A and B are shown apart, each in its own frame.
Chain A
Amino acid sequence: MKVYLDNNATTMVDPEVKAAMDPYFCEIYGNPNSLHDFGTASHPALRRAMDQMYEAIGARDEDDIVVTSCATESNNWVLKGIYYDLIQNGEKDHIITTEVEHPSVTAVCRWLEEQGVRVTYLPVNGDGIVEAHTVRDFITDKTALVSVMWANNETGAVFPIEAISEVCKEKGVLLHTDGVQAVGKIPVDVIRAGVDFMSFSAHKFHGPKGVGGLYIRNGHPLTSLLHGGEHMGGRRSGTLNVPGIVGMGKAMELANYYLKFEEEHVRRLRDKLEDAILEIPDTYSVGPRENRTPNTVLVSVRGVEGEAMLWDLNRAGIAASTGSACASEDLEANPIMVAVGADNELAHTAVRLSLSRFTTEEEIDYTIEQFKKAVERLRAISSTYAYMPENMKEQQGSACKA
């Protein structure tokens, strides 16, 4: 059996999305910026796709949703745009973000630090989130932007974006949120949330890879990242990726349609999987369930290194992921693992399982069975688990507390 439980990394394209995209490869292939019929033939589909996107996240007509190539580009654009618009001229000098953002935020922030920008990286609490009052404590009159993710990719922890936006409004600071892990998993309403910018990416909600977007409240001016054309109202140059845009629109519409299903069915399967794993002695899950995206669970299995666990699951046909340093190309430990861990061990024993609306009950039952087998085999090999002193063994099934 093949089971894909790495949906926070990417998702399968929904066949309905693929069907919507199909005509725009070989039949309606004109450049939408051309004057002739070949070009304009794609306009109705593009307009429909934009409607679907605006509808899905509750954007108003006066707002902009600029299609980009991915959320990495969207995140880069916001941070570098704010730098050029508000910081380079000396008006402001400070950006606030968190320690657990995606590298497309933290790496840009580190680069901005090299340009002389002051960046505050807020730590997360034991539940894996940053609270609004913490953000408030660090805002100064020199703060240009707050950039806080809506939901975390590793833990699924949902950040209090609405409360953070209240603080930002009160202090007159712009707020950007990386919504990649939220869109399609939980209700996202940009107006109610009060964000100024939000990044998202189609491949995280069963759309195609290579297309993402940036929501910009009231068309807020932001220096462009890509120059060289009048595409996207002059905000983002580059020939429009027609099949991608059509696919992303359709995928967002479907994701919204399935939100209730996600909340009920996917959550139930995730809880079933999590409960079964927590029945194994000395296993832990990270962050309270009620404040997590419904598809995600990050578990730590004492005595079993994350990459070894991934290897065994993969042999059983199950795809999962780990924040373990040993499995990454650069061997750097993932900060979230340490931030929310009961001890350093979590940085090496964490396994992330992320479901989707296509995950079936049979797949979860099979995963539970194989997960237990893998833990048994690897704990038998483990040099640390068998002779661990009793007082080091925590109560089974408890959630980690920092």
Chain B
Amino acid sequence: MAKNDLIGGSIWEEYSQKVQDLMNNPKNQGELTEEDAKRLGGELIVADFGAESCGDAVRLYWIVDPKTDKILDAKFKSFGCGTAIASSDTMVELCKGKTVDEAVKITNIDVEKAMRDEPDTPAVPPQKMHCSVMAYDVIKKAASLYKGVDMESFEDEIIVCECARVSLSTIKEVIKLNDLKTVEEITDYTKAGAFCKSCIKPGGHEEREYYLVDILAETRREMEEEKLKEAAQKQESGEEVPFKEMTMVQKIKAIDKAIDESVRQYLVMDGGNMEVLDVKENGPYTDVYIRYLGACSGCASSTTGTLYAIESTLKQKLDPNIRVLPI
């Protein structure tokens, strides 16, 4: 949220002039027929993608030269909002004269960039980015029909965010490398989820196979497991594990060990004792909750000198961020 976000209703104001012109007068709108294909000496391909009930549907016509795989002519029909019409028109323009293999490489990002007036100003507001995704999908559909293959064969990786074309592997890698904890952080690092927001969580504009919230939870779980494995391996090999990197169980054991070795004997000598009730992570601190037993319980020193001695022992032996809290 910032100054520019406080007045809403500006979607249309954010369309580039090119988008507006294409909405008003699409250049490549229309149909191609078998007669057209005969005339040009090519093969007619008609591909449909989307559905009216989803709010977007596009039909792409290609006439392809079977000798060179070149797209000799292309046209479209579109049920959708103005940006869907403009995107489809631009996509058709970009297809013309390319081979089918080259056309498949055209993404919605190329389409959006081609509709910009200024190189650094987006052609459409973020939430309308999804309208250009349909243009990319229908190309793949047309190419799959022409080549007689499955649409999926053109995708070499799983795309989570269609608007920003961010893959599953990229998102997982970024989470792990930068220790990301929120979806907002993922968006900041990768742009995934910054546009139509469908890929963030279920219930958005369209149903997705993968959602950022699930990927984040799954990746964090993987990271946790990796951390546990690493800690166990280190322990097995007798390697010194820093207190910060220990698992909770390892921390409790280390605290108990330090108390047994350096604290308990002095308390017992005075007819007292102590036990650890709980250990909790609290931001940067590890809080150790203890209970005094025997003579220590109710002793005047238990909240001053004795407590200080226990805490400073643990700080010195294990971690300076340990706090001891008597209950």
Contact = CB atoms under 8 A, between A and B. Distances in A.
Contacts of A382: 77-79
Interface string A294-308: 000000000111111
A327 interface: yes
Interface residues of A, number: 31
Interface stretch (B52-60, B182-190, B209-217, B294-302): B52-60
Contacts of A332: 204-205
B79 A385 contact: yes
A327 B29 CA distance: 22
B131 interface: yes
A381 B29 contact: yes
B193 interface: no
B26 A383 contact: no
A331 interface: yes
A348 to B, nearest CB: 4
A343 B51 CA distance: 12
A381 B26 CA distance: 9
Given A308-B81, A332-B205, A383 B53 contact: no
Contacts of B77: 381-383, 386
A56 interface: no
A332 B198 CA distance: 10
Interface residues of B, number: 35
A352 to B, nearest CB: 16
B196 interface: yes
Given A331-B197, A345-B52, A383 B81 contact: no
Nearest to B206: A331
Which residue among A380, A382, A386 has the maximum number of chain B CB atoms within 10 Å of its CB?
Answer: A382
Interface string A336-363: 0000000111011100000000000000
A83 to B, nearest CB: 25
A192 interface: no
Given A331-B204, A347-B55, A381 B78 contact: yes
B52 A348 contact: yes
A12 interface: no
A303 B81 contact: no
Which residue among B9, B11, B76, B198 has the maximum number of chain A CB atoms within 10 Å of its CB?
Answer: B11
Given A307-B81, A308-B80, A326 B131 contact: yes
B82 A311 contact: yes
Given A329-B8, A383-B58, A383-B79, A303 B196 contact: no
A325 interface: yes
A324 interface: yes
A385 B57 CA distance: 11
Contacts of B11: 327, 329
Contacts of B76: 383
A382 B204 CA distance: 25
Contacts of A381: 26, 29, 77-78, 85
A383 B55 CA distance: 12
A381 B58 CA distance: 10
Interface string A301-330: 001111110010011000000001111011
Given A311-B23, A344-B53, A329 B79 contact: no
Nearest to A386: B77
A140 interface: no
Interface in B38-74: 48, 52-59
B85 A308 contact: yes
A384 interface: yes
Which residue among B8, B48, B55 has the maximum number of chain A CB atoms within 10 Å of its CB?
Answer: B55
A235 to B, nearest CB: 29
Nearest to B77: A383
A343 B52 CA distance: 10
B205 A325 contact: yes
Contact of B79 (A303, A314, A344): A303
A308 B57 contact: no
B33 interface: no
A139 B264 CA distance: 63
A384 B52 contact: yes
A325 B79 contact: no
B95 interface: no
B84 interface: yes
A307 B9 CA distance: 13
Given A331-B197, A386-B77, A308 B58 contact: no
B127 interface: yes
A303 B51 CA distance: 11
A324 B79 contact: no
Which residue among A349, A380, A383, A384 has the maximum number of chain B CB atoms within 10 Å of its CB?
Answer: A383
A89 B54 CA distance: 45
A165 to B, nearest CB: 34
Nearest to B82: A311
Contacts of B78: 381-383
Interface string B109-137: 00000000000000000011011000000
Nearest to B79: A384
Nearest to A381: B29
A331 B127 contact: yes
A22 to B, nearest CB: 27
Interface in A345-402: 345, 347-349, 380-386
B24 interface: yes
Contact of B80 (A315, A326, A329): A326
Given A311-B23, A381-B26, A327 B52 contact: no
Contacts of B59: 383
B51 to A, nearest CB: 8
B81 A326 contact: yes
A347 B54 CA distance: 9
Contacts of B127: 329-331
Interface string B147-163: 00000000000000000
A383 B48 contact: yes
Given A325-B55, A343-B53, A308 B82 contact: yes
25 contacts: A304-B79, A305-B56, A305-B80, A306-B81, A308-B81, A308-B84, A311-B23, A315-B24, A324-B55, A325-B205, A326-B56, A326-B81, A326-B84, A327-B11, A327-B81, A331-B205, A344-B54, A347-B55, A348-B52, A348-B54, A382-B77, A382-B79, A383-B78, A384-B79, A385-B79
Given A303-B79, A333-B55, 11 more contacts: A304-B79, A308-B80, A311-B23, A325-B55, A326-B55, A331-B130, A348-B54, A349-B52, A382-B77, A382-B79, A384-B57
Nearest 10 interchain pairs by C-beta: A383-B77, A344-B53, A383-B59, A307-B81, A331-B205, A326-B81, A348-B55, A384-B79, A384-B52, A311-B82
